Amino acid sequence: MTKNKFSLRRAVNNMNLVRFRFWFQIVAFALIVYGGYIGLDLGNKLPTFACVFNGEGTGGKCYVGELQHDLKHPLEGFIGFAGYAFLISLGMFAVWFWALNKGWCGFVCPLGTMQDWLTMAREKSRIRFSEYSWANRKKIKSIKYILLILLLLLPVMIANSVFGLPKLPNGLSMPFCDICPGRMMIPAFTGHFNQFYIDFSSKTDLVMTTLGMIITGLFLVGSFIKKRFFCYFCPMAALQYVFSKPALLKLYKDGDKCTRCGDCYRACDMDILEIADDVKTKNMVTEDCTLCLKCIAACPEEGCLEANFMGATIFESTKEGFVLRMAMDQHKESHAH
C-alpha cells in the first residue's frame, strides 16, 4: 500500500502546527523587530505592525503609521501627483498583503506574537481563558472599523476643514499611533522604553498619550486573559480585510465534509463561529480571521479545511494529522488497581 510511503504532502499535513507557528513567529518577530540591525528594510508599506517608533531596529515600517502621515495633507494636493503617489502606496500595501492575506496576523505581526506569548504564559499557569458572549462578540466587530475610519479621518481633518468644521489640533496627527500598543511595546524589545510617557504639552497630547498608556495596559492584561484580545479591535485587520478577497493565501472549507463538530471553533483564538457552523461558504477568511491555521490542525475530517496558495493545497485537515497532533496515536495500557 502507498499508505506508509513518505510523501511531503503527508508530512506537512501531519505537522505539529503549534511548534511550527511558534518558531515561525519567532523568526518573523526577529526580522521585523531587529531586522534593521542587519540592514533589513522591507519598506514602509508593510501590512503589519512593524513600528516606526522602533528606530534602527525595525526591519520595515507599518503602513498604518505611514497612512496617517500621508493623509495629513490639504485635499487639493490629492488631485494630481500626490493622489497617484497615495494610490501607489496603497497598492503596494495591498501587494504585500496579498502574499499572505490575513496570515500576516497569524504568523508575522509582532503584536499578535506578543499576545500569543502571553497566552502561553496563561496556559502554563493553568488559568482558564475568558470568552465573550456570542452577543457581545458580534457587537464588538464594528469597533475596528470605527477606529479605522477615525484614523483615516482625523489626519485629514487636521490639514483640512471638513464640512466647514475648524481644523483639528496637530496633536492628533497620528491618532492611532498615539493609542497603539505597538508604539510602546515594540521599541521596548530593542531596549527603548522612551515611548512610555505622558505628554503634557497640550490637552490633546495629554489625553491621547494617557489613552495610549491605558490601552497598552489593557493590551497586556487583556491578552493574558483573552486570547488575541487586541486583535478583536485592530484597525489594521479592518484595513486588511478590505483587500482580502483577491489575496493568494486562502482558508477554504468543504462544507459537505463538515460534521459541525465545532472542534475548529474551539481552537480558534478569534472565536469565529462561522468556521464550524457555516457549511455553505468556501472562502472562510472572515473579517477577524488571522489565518493562524489552528482550525485546520484541529479539524478531524479528511480534507474539510485547507490552506490554499494560488489554487494549490498546502496544508489540509486529515484524520491522521489530527490523531498525531492530539497525541492519540499510541496505546498506553492502564494499570489495574
User: CA 176 to CA 195: how far, in whole Å?
Assistant: 14
Stretch that binds ligand SF4, among 18-26, 87-95, 133-141, 286-294 (CB under 6 A): 286-294
Pull the grid cell for residue 147. 477606529
Pull the grid cell for residue 24. 515561525
Pull the grid cell for residue 44. 514602509
Residues 168-207, mask of contacts with ligand SF4 (x by CB under 6 A): --------xx--x-xx------------------------
Specify the residue, 47 or 160, whose C-beta has the smaller distance to ligand SF4.
47
* Dihedral sign of CA atoms 116, 132, 216, 231 in order: positive
- Check: CB of residue 32 under 8 Å from CB of residue 108: yes
Residue in the structure block whose three cell numbers are 494499570:
335
Residues 206-225, interacting with other proteins (CB under 8 A): none
Residue 334, contacted partner among ligand SF4, other proteins, none, CB below 5-8 A by kind: other proteins
User: CA 211 to CA 114: how far, in whole Å?
Assistant: 20
Q: Report if residue 132 touches other proteins, rule: CB under 8 A.
A: no
User: CA 30 to CA 57: how far, in whole Å?
Assistant: 10
User: CA 215 to CA 228: how far, in whole Å?
Assistant: 14
- Check: CB of residue 54 under 8 Å from CB of residue 186: yes
Residue 251, contacted partner among other proteins, ligand SF4, none, CB below 5-8 A by kind: ligand SF4
Footprint of other proteins (CB under 8 A): 1, 123, 126, 128-129, 133-134, 256-263, 266-267, 276-277, 279, 294, 298-300, 319, 322-323, 326-334, 337
Footprint of ligand SF4 (CB under 6 A): 48-49, 51-53, 62, 64-65, 105-106, 109, 111-112, 176-177, 180, 182-183, 230-231, 234, 236-237, 251, 258-264, 267-268, 270, 272, 275-276, 289-295, 298-299, 301, 304-305
